[in-house]
Structure 1
């Protein structure tokens, strides 16, 4: 099955974790891939994903460095991708940050950086991708949101929660504006997934068990499960799905919150 043969797909923040899982799944189904990474510290990981995909699936894979929160970087990312592959047909806004700080200790820099990456980055990349999608009458934009888009999931990430709620609303707004041009804009909402972003957090066995017990499925999600949902929303099977947040959370957001969740940590 090759649902994305010769489609050009750009995934932001795809050197590792959920982003890397997403590009692997697209490559499995024939897509040409643009792997975006932030800085020099991520280049080696991005290159490893690039090599793995090229060897396993034989698709075209390029690396583009850039900070999604900087307009000049976004312009350079897309210009390079278009030069190498052609117009981007599927954009997955995966890049995100989640520094753990309780509200009274959140600095202005932390707040600004969180919104710059998680919301402004989504705005800038979508705005850059949209014109060529409009011209072609086809395009898919999938934003990686969170359970925090719907619930206050922890008292130590108020900036992250606010940013992911904004990402949810932005998804709906873009779905309305771009839908008439044949562009589907949707989002996925993962619960806790074992990636580098939360590796240190989950090293505490008590916290790990609390996360598992809090989930109705009694397990954590996987990066591949999130990637599978992204592929669905990017596929022809989801042509009439627009402005939607697909929760991939084991039912976490449909159950009552547990009292004092996470408060000890």
Structure 2
């Protein structure tokens, strides 16, 4: 049996990239998984991910919702509870990173970024925690970023600040919900080669610099993020709470310095 056998999970933004990998890893460990997606164009991908969960032996549904809307979040949970049961593992994975320098960031971009990257965590976690408190059991895992800790680019200040806010939200929820046997943690990926980064990594020079900047001299993979989520969602992490697990090859602990400095 898998580490998550019989558990019911919901993954926001689960139709592609890191979200898809998380869904598959949860299913491989025995969980039944609800796959959230936002737009009509993403439904075929979400259905394909759900089909893979079923192939692995689990139950799965797809559920459309803009997780930045409380009304849609409430409907999403109602659907999941009706079709699968109460959510025991919530993975807040949905996120956006529109590239715009600070002086060009509009109110619309700012609000959309915070609604998706921060407010969605607040609303989904608040709704999930209501039933978790009753059961005295639950796991909430937020997918954050190296940008939660350091400035990763000069053209995404809104994204970086939103991820830092989500990091503190994680810690605050962990303290308040811990007494109900609910673990709240986060994972912090560095650059992962998914469709979200396709255009960015299409530039060979940027790809080379990303790899060279990482102490492991490689990009991360979506499955590695899924592995970290599985650990935090499992009973192996029962005493891990309020933690941001960096899955970044050591990037955020390495100070910037000339490339040859560490070789001498």
In 2: Cα distance, 1:250 partner to 1:125 partner:
29
Secondary structure class of the residue paired with 1:4: coil
Evaluate the alpha carbon distance shift between residue 175 and residue 37 of structure 1 in structure 2; reply closer, same or farther with a 3 A threshold: same
What is the correspondence of 1:76-225 to structure 2 with a 5 Å cutoff?
76-225=75-224
**How many equivalent pairs are there?**
258
Contact 1:214–1:258 (Cα < 8 Å) also in 2: no
Inter-partner Cα distance in structure 1 for 2:85 and 2:53: 19
Which SS does the other structure have where 1:36 is aligned? strand
Comparing 213-222 with 41-50, greater Cα deviation is found at 41-50
- The secondary structure found in structure 2 opposite 1:257 is coil
TM-superposed CA distance for 1:6, in Å, is 1.3
The CA deviation at 1:258 is 5.3
**Distance in 2, Cα, partners of 1:60 & 1:223:** 22
**Post-superposition offset of 1:52:** 2.0
- Shift in Å at residue 54 of structure 1? 1.2
1:180-233: CA deviation from partner (whole Å, max 9, x where unpaired): 000000000000001111110000000000000000000000000000000000
Deviations 1:53-82 (A, max 9, x none): 212x12100000001100000001000000
CA RMSD of aligned residues (A): 0.9
Q: Give the Cα–Cα distance (whole angstroms) in 2 for the partners of residues 219 and 58 of structure 1.
A: 33
Residue 226 of structure 1 aligns to a residue whose secondary structure is helix
Structure 1 portions without partners, runs of 5+: 260-265
How high is the TM-score relative to the length of structure 1?
0.96
1:262 corresponding residue in structure 2: none
Measure how far apart 1:132 and its partner are.
0.6
C-alpha spacing 1:105/1:243, structure 2 compared with 1 (3 Å): same
Task: Tell me, in whole angstroms, the C-alpha distance in 2 between the residues paired with 1:112 and 1:5.
Answer: 38
Inter-partner Cα distance in structure 2 for 1:141 and 1:47: 24
Report the counterpart of residue 70 of structure 2 in structure 1.
71
For 1:151 and 1:258, the matched residues in 2 are separated by 15
Distance 1:134 1:187 in 2: 19
1:228 counterpart = 2:198: no
Q: Distance in 1 between matches of 2:232 and 2:37?
A: 23
Measured in 1, the distance between the counterparts of 2:27 and 2:3 equals 10
Runs of 4+ in 1 over 6 A off after TM superposition: none
* Whole-angstrom CA distance in 1 between matches of 2:13 and 2:155: 23
- Give 3-state SS (helix, strand or coil) of 1:21's partner: helix
SS of 1:180's equivalent in the other structure is helix
Distance in 1, matches of 2:74 and 2:6, equals: 23
Residue 53 in 1 paired to residue 53 in 2? yes
